[in-house]
């Protein structure tokens, strides 16, 4: 059974064709910079990598490029679209309705639309991808896999904000959490690497990229997470501020003449690593600048690592102890220096890196703590597409697809 997984972004289309039963990929592809003259497509297969500039003025054309590459006589991997048995879609926000992945019907599309206010940058574009894909693949099951569903196991104590409960009841204002497919995958994979049953582990998973979130996981279930109603809450990120006193908004609007659109742009697109460093949201570049003596770059990294460190302590308390920390995503997988900066000073809590192993680990699966560290530190490259494909196979076969 061949499954196509789709992650439709505002300017990109990420796709993977998988062999469901084997759990292996056939092709990985990415259409970048949709709408730009510099748009391009790249595709990895077992035969190698193909990449070239191709015009993709809109998402519909990006889908056509994907189909062309998948079916191309020279670089393609299937003969025609009839070889695809099911399509899985990443959907960012499922609100408090979707506790698990589900087959996409007109009613499900309407429900996803209902949560657009909670994810205005993500759900509309996810829905666009769903509509285009259903036109192109009308005769196969389509499955929505929600970023938020993994965190639906949080208790009311963890997900409710201390505001009038009527606001939750009327407007669904609460903590939802994101990156759920990533937290789910790396927590399970880390348990496998450690040869320990996940249903008896207390874990903190750290998804550190341009967007960042952490989750406290007990027995394989999320009990708390850093992102909230939207992806703005929690850790310092590439361009997002993370946790901030809400009165900053009132101060900027009422005392300094900002309008709400300016504040939203400030907190989501001009803050975080970019805002503090004054350079870029790219951690690698900021690290290089800090090595060259740039004090703002150094400060940005220290604030970033301090926030992660603080949440590790908080989640140890929430979990009643800790067995494992997992690092994943671009920064978590690839930056030994940031992992070191985060873990330094936590030795008294039973967290001790092996400096040599940590330096050697770059986008690899590896335990990077010392052998006798009470809390194991594991690096696991995330694979959200694997989760989407697995969930799509499960839902499609259970529905008779």
For the residues of 118-175, what is the DSSP string, one character each?
A: T-TTTHHHHHHHHHHHHHHSTTS-EEEEETTGGGGG--HHHH--SS-HHHHHHH--S-
Cα atoms in the Cβ-side hemisphere of radius 13 Å centred on 333:
15
Same domain, 7 and 142: yes
User: Are 305 and 366 within one domain?
Assistant: yes
- Supply angle C-alpha 192, 195, 198, rounded to 5: 60
**CA distances (Å), origin 83, targets 36, 55, 173:** 31, 26, 42
> Can you tell me whether residue 176 is helix, strand or coil?
coil
The answer to the question of residue 400 being in a domain is no
pLDDT per position as a tens digit, 114-124: 887 777 778 88
Question: Contact at 8 Å (CB) between 222 and 215?
Answer: yes
Q: Is residue 104 part of a domain?
A: yes
**What are the E-state strand segments in 264-339?**
324-328
- Statement to judge: residues 82 and 231 lie in one domain: no
Residue 175 makes CB contacts below 8 A (sequence gap 6+) with: 151, 154, 158, 159, 160, 161, 225, 227, 228, 229, 233
Edge to edge, the sheet with strand 40-45 lists 48-53, 40-45, 24-32, 13-19, 2-8, 86-91, 142-146, 102-103
Which pLDDT value is given to residue 271? 97
Note whether 100 and 392 are within 8 A (CB): no
Tell me how far apart the terminal alpha carbons of the chain are, to the nearest angstrom.
10
Provide the whole-model pTM: 0.91
Instruction: List CB contacts of 251: < 8 A, sequence separation 6 or more.
Output: none
Last residue of a domain, one of 110, 129, 146: 146
In a domain, 171, yes or no: no
In tens, the pLDDT along 389-400 reads: 999 999 998 865
- My answer on whether 265 and 200 are in the same domain is yes
Clarify whether residues 203 and 340 are in a common domain: yes
124 and 203 in a single domain? The answer is: no
So which residues are the catalytic ones?
Answer: 147
Q: According to the model, what pLDDT value does residue 319 have? A: 98
* 252 is a domain residue: yes
Q: How far apart are CA 185 and CA 141, in angstroms?
A: 23
pLDDT in tens, 56-102: 999 999 999 999 999 988 888 998 899 999 999 999 888 888 888 99
Q: Is residue 154 part of a domain?
A: no
Q: Return mean pLDDT, the chain.
A: 93
Same domain, 226 and 341: yes
User: What is the mean pLDDT of the segment spanning 155-169?
Assistant: 96
Calculate the alpha carbon distances from 396 to 67, 154, 230 in Å. Answer: 22, 27, 29
Please check whether residues 126 and 247 belong to one and the same domain.
no
More confident residue, 51 or 188: 188
pLDDT tens per residue, range 357-379: 999 999 999 999 999 999 999 99
Give the list of residues 6+ apart from residue 62 with CB closer than 8 angstroms, or none: 13, 31, 34, 39, 41, 56
225 and 346 in a single domain? The answer is yes
Q: Is the pLDDT of residue 22 over 80?
A: no
Owning domain of residue 47: 2-146
Once rounded to an integer, what is the mean pLDDT over residues 154-177? 95
User: Into how many domains does the chain fold?
Assistant: 2
Q: Is the pLDDT of residue 317 over 60?
A: yes
| CATH number of the domain bearing residue 295 | 3.30.420.40
Residue 23 pLDDT grade (very low, low, confident, very high; cuts 50, 70, 90):
low
204, 329: one domain: yes
Of 87, 119, 146, the residue that ends a domain is: 146
- Cβ pair 311, 345 in contact under 8 A: no
**Residue 118 maps to a domain:** yes
Same domain, 203 and 131: no
Does 48 fall in a domain? Answer: yes
Instruction: Clarify whether residues 222 and 96 are in a common domain.
Output: no
The pLDDT, as a whole number, for residue 401 is 43
Residue 181 in any domain: the answer is no
């Amino acid at each position: 059974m061949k499954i196509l997984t789709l992650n439709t972004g505002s300017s990109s289309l990420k796709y993977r064709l998988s062999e469901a039963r084997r759990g292996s990929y056939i092709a990985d592809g990415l259409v970048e910079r949709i709408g730009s003259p510099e748009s391009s497509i790249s595709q990895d297969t077992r035969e190698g990598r193909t990449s070239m500039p191709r015009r993709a003025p809109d998402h519909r054309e990006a889908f056509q490029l994907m189909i062309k590459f998948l079916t191309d006589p020279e670089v393609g991997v299937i003969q025609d679209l009839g070889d695809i048995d099911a399509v899985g879609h990443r959907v960012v926000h499922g609100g408090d309705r979707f506790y698990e992945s589900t087959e996409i019907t007109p009613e499900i599309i309407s429900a996803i639309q209902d949560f657009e206010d909670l994810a205005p940058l993500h759900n509309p574009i996810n829905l666009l991808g769903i509509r285009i894909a259903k036109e192109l693949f009308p005769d196969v099951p389509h499955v929505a896999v929600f970023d938020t569903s993994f965190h639906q196991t949080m208790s009311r104590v963890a997900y409710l904000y201390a505001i009038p409960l009527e606001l939750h009841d009327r407007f669904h204002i609460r903590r939802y959490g994101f990156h759920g497919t990533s937290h789910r995958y790396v927590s399970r994979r880390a348990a496998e690497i450690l040869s320990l049953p996940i249903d008896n582990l207390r874990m903190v998973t750290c998804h550190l990229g341009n967007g960042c979130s952490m989750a406290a996981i007990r027995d394989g279930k999320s009990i708390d997470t850093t992102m909230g109603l939207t992806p703005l809450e929690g850790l310092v990120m590439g361009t997002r501020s993370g946790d901030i006193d809400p009165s900053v908004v009132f101060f900027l609007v009422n005392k300094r003449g900002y309008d709400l659109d300016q504040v939203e742009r400030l907190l989501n697109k001009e803050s975080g690593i970019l805002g503090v460093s004054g350079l870029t949201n790219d951690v690698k570049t900021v690290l290089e600048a800090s090595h060259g003596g740039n004090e703002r770059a150094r400060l940005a990294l220290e604030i970033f690592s301090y926030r992660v460190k603080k949440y590790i302590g908080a989640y140890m308390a929430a979990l009643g102890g800790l067995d494992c920390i997992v690092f994943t995503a671009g920064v978590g997988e690839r930056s030994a220096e940031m992992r070191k900066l985060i873990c330094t000073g936590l030795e008294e809590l039973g967290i001790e890196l092996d400096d040599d192993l940590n330096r050697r680990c770059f986008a690899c699966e590896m335990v990077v703590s010392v052998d006798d560290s009470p809390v194991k530190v594991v690096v696991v490259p995330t694979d959200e597409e694997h989760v989407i494909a697995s969930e799509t196979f499960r839902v499609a076969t259970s529905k008779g697809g």
